[in-house]
Amino acid sequence: MSGLSEQRPIERFTGLAGLYAQCRPGYPDAALDFIIRRCGLGSQSVLVDVGCGTGIAARLFAGRGVPVIGIDPNDQMRGQAEAVAAPPGAMAPVYRRGRAEATGLPDAAADVVLAAQAFHWFEPDAALREFHRILKPGGWVALMWNERDLSDAFTAAYSAVIASTPEAAAIEHPRGRAGEVLLGSSRFEEATRVEFANAQPLSEEGLLGRAFSASYAPREPEAAERFADGLRAVFARFQLQGQVVIRYQTSVYSARRKDLSQD
C-alpha cells in the first residue's frame, strides 16, 4: 500500500488496546470453521496470527483446539492479549513481538498464517514473502476482514458518520482491496475469496467505544465531541430497546503455499 509508512501502522494503536479489546467484533463461526476445514487445522497444527492485536482471532482459534502463536509489534496491544484468559479448556495462545515482514520465527514453523483485520497495515509483497518462508510445505495463508455491510440502513448511517473523519477514507478504501494481492501472488496457489455474514449488537456506550477504537477516530476534544454527537444521533434514530446492530460481511481470502523450487 502506497504511503503505508506515513500512516504509522505500529504506533497508531498505542493507547487504544483496552477499547479495542472491549468493543471490536469477533468473527462468525462459519468463517472460522471454513478456515479450519480448508486448511486442515487441528490440535497438532500451528496457526500463526500475524498482527494479532489484542488476540481476538487468536483466542477464537485456540478455543477450537488449535495451537496459536500471536505476532504483533505493538507492546500495548500484545500486552492486552496476554492479559486475557484463554477460553475454558483451551491452550492459551503464545504471543511474541514481531512484524509481518519479519516475524522472528524459523523457517517452516506454521501450518497456517492468519492475518485478521490486519493485512492492510502490512507491506504486502514483503509480508507474503515472509509468510511463504515460515509456512510448512503445503501450508496456507488466510486473510480475514469484517467489512461493514452498507446494504443495511443503520450500518450505512453509522458508516456515514465514520466517513466524516479525515483519515477514514484513506484507510478504509484500500483495506477493502488489500486481500486481492494474495489472489494473484506467484508464491501461492489455489487462491479463493469467500464471504460470511456477521453482526455486532451494541448499546450506545458500545457503539461509541466501537467507533473510537478505530485508529482514525478523532482525538482532539472538540472534534471528538462532534464525532460522538453524530454517533449518538444515529443511535437514537435506529435503536430498538436500547440496541443497534452493525452488520458486516466477513471476507476470507485463502491460498496454499507453492513450492517455488519446482518453478
Below-50 pLDDT ranges, the chain:
1-3, 5-6
Query: What DSSP character marks residue 243?
Result: B
pLDDT of 170: 65
pLDDT of 32: 98
Cell of 144: 480475514
Cell of 245: 446492530
Global pTM reads 0.91
Look at residue 263 and tell me if it is in a domain: no
Residue 200: beta bridge partners? 246
Structural domain span for residue 168:
5-258
What's 206's domain CATH number? Answer: 3.40.50.150
Total domains in the chain come to: 1
Look at residue 227 and tell me if it is in a domain: yes
Are 98 and 104 a contacting pair, CB within 8 Å? Answer: yes
Written as one string, the DSSP assignment of 50-104 is ET-TTSHHHHHHHTTT--EEEEES-HHHHHHHHHSPPPTTSPPPEEEE-BTTB--
Q: Could you read off the pLDDT of 23-81 as tens digits, one per residue?
A: 899 999 999 999 999 999 999 999 999 999 999 999 999 999 999 999 999 999 999 99
